[in-house]
Amino acid sequence: MLEIIRIPVLSDNYVWLVHEPESQETMVVDPAVADPVLAEAAERGWTITQIWNTHWHPDHTGGNAAIKEATGCHVTGPEAEQDRIPTLDAMVKEGDTVKLGSVTAEVIDVPAHTAGHIAFHIPSEKMVFVGDTLFAMGCGRLFEGTAAQMYDNMRKLEALPDATRIYCAHEYTKANGEYALAAEPDNLAIKERMAEVLTLRERGEATVPTTIRQERATNPFMRAGSVEELAARRTAKDNF
């Protein structure tokens, strides 16, 4: 039902432009900057009515103010980070829902990369916007949280249906896959996936969205069997 456009910005960020045709509402997930987002919406004849932020980092909220000024849109983001996102109109946490036209997203708390990080899961569309918590074959750095929190996040996300598409905010897959091969050198699924990733990147194509099924098979952080193993893998990846 939703139309989703990937907008590459900065060095490796993806902003997601999401249009609900029935209501004609258009939403932006984590706009790092404003101009390319406004231009893409204008080219399609879409009016941006909402912004959804997953966390406070400037490369996810930097476009909020200019988009809001240009469109009068409504900004929703994590309640726990409201002091760090001054453009917010609505603050949400796990258990809350957000609507885009007739489509409903469920908010999931996924702290660790930042203290109040959230994700937006849309069950009817089999999709989840995860910001910097989960990447293809990777996870976010533990800037404001713990390995235990990230381990819990992995459990929450892996419990989503296999076919759920994961919309993350960066093109990190090649580097993540190189570490995944080192972490699990005998994992045939990772080897096969990296071959696909290298082909896509050589063509200049994106490697995301990914799916829960793919991550269960190839993501060394989702596959970590304990908090301790995830912590060790995160440290190893930080120094890889």
Q: Provide the β-strand partners of residue 122.
A: 127
Q: Which two tokens stand for residue 74?
A: 């409504």
5: phi then psi, degrees, rounded to nearest 5: -115, 130
Active site positions, annotated: 55, 57, 59-60, 113, 132, 170
Q: What's the rounded Cα separation, in Å, for the pair 132 and 221?
A: 13
Dist CA 116 CA 31 (whole Å): 18
- Residue identified by tokens 């949280």 is 145
Q: Which of 28, 22, 25 is nearest to 9 (CA)?
A: 28
**Beta pairing, strands 134-135 & 138-139:** antiparallel
How many residues would you count in the chain?
Answer: 240
Taking each helix axis from N to C terminus, what angle separates 227-238 and 173-183, rounded to the nearest 10 degrees? Answer: 120
Alpha-carbon distances of 113 from 36, 54, 117, 131, 213, rounded to whole Å: 26, 11, 7, 10, 23
Q: Which residues of 200-217 are buried (b: 16+ CB within 10 A; e: fewer)?
A: eeeeeeebbbbbbebbeb
